[in-house]
Amino acid sequence: MDEQQTGTARSIAAEALSEAEAHRQFAGEVLERYPQLTERQRATDLVFGVMRNRSAIDLVIEKISTCPVRRIQNKVLNILRVAVYEIIYCPQTPDYAIVDAAVDYAKHAAKTKQAGFVNAVLRQIIRHILSRQRPLEKAPPPRTLPQTPDTGCEFDIEILPDPDVSQARYMSRAFSLPDWLVKSWLDEFGRENTIQICFASNRRPSVYLRPNPLKTTAESLWGKLKAEGVECEILAESRMIKLTGPGAITALPGFDEGLFTVQDLSAAQAVRLLNPQPGWTILDLCAAPGTKTTQLAETTAGKAKIVATDIDNQRLNMVRENVARLGLADCVTVVEYHEVDDCVQRLGGFDCVLIDAPCSNTGVLARRPEVRHRITKKAVEKLAAVQAELLSNAAEMLKPQGVLCYSTCSIQPEENALLIRGFIGENPGFKLKTEKLTLPSAETFDQDGSFAAVITKEDGV
Domains observed in the chain: 3-144 (1.10.940.10), 167-202 (no CATH), 207-262 (3.30.70.1170), 269-457 (3.40.50.150)
Lowest mean pLDDT among 29-33, 71-75, 169-173: 29-33
* Contact status, residue 255 vs residue 217, Cβ threshold 8 Å: no
Task: Give per-residue pLDDT as tens, 292-326.
Answer: 999 999 999 999 999 999 999 999 999 999 999 99
Q: From CA 317, how far away is CA 395, in angstroms rounded?
A: 26
- The DSSP 8-state label assigned to residue 441 in this structure reads B
Task: Give per-residue pLDDT as tens, 400-409.
Answer: 999 999 999 9
Please state the φ and ψ torsions of residue 190, each to the nearest 5 degrees: 85, 170
Q: From CA 262, how far away is CA 274, in angstroms rounded?
A: 20
DSSP string, 100-158: HHHHHHHHHHS-HHHHHHHHHHHHHHHHTEEEEEEEGGGS-GGGEEESSSSEEEEESS-
Q: From CA 149, how far away is CA 391, in angstroms rounded?
A: 38
What is the rounded average pLDDT of the residues 35-52? 82
Task: Give per-residue pLDDT as tens, 112-155.
Answer: 789 999 999 999 999 999 999 999 999 999 999 999 999 999 99
* Cis ω before 91 (30° cut-off from 0): no
Q: What percent of the chain has pLDDT over 70?
A: 96
What is the rounded average pLDDT of the residues 389-399? 96
Q: What percent of the chain has pLDDT over 90?
A: 86
Task: Give per-residue pLDDT as tens, 257-292.
Answer: 999 999 999 999 999 999 999 999 999 999 999 999
Q: From CA 458, how far away is CA 400, in angstroms rounded?
A: 6
pTM metric for this prediction:
0.93
- The pLDDT-based confidence of 24 (bands split at 50, 70, 90) is confident
Query: Between vectors from CA 394 to CA 388 and to CA 398, what angle results, nearest 5°?
Result: 145
Report the candidate in 458, 382, 448, 375 with the shortest Cα–Cα distance to residue 419.
382
Task: Give per-residue pLDDT as tens, 154-196.
Answer: 999 999 999 999 999 999 999 999 999 999 999 999 999 999 9
H helices present in 326-416, as ranges: 340-347, 377-395
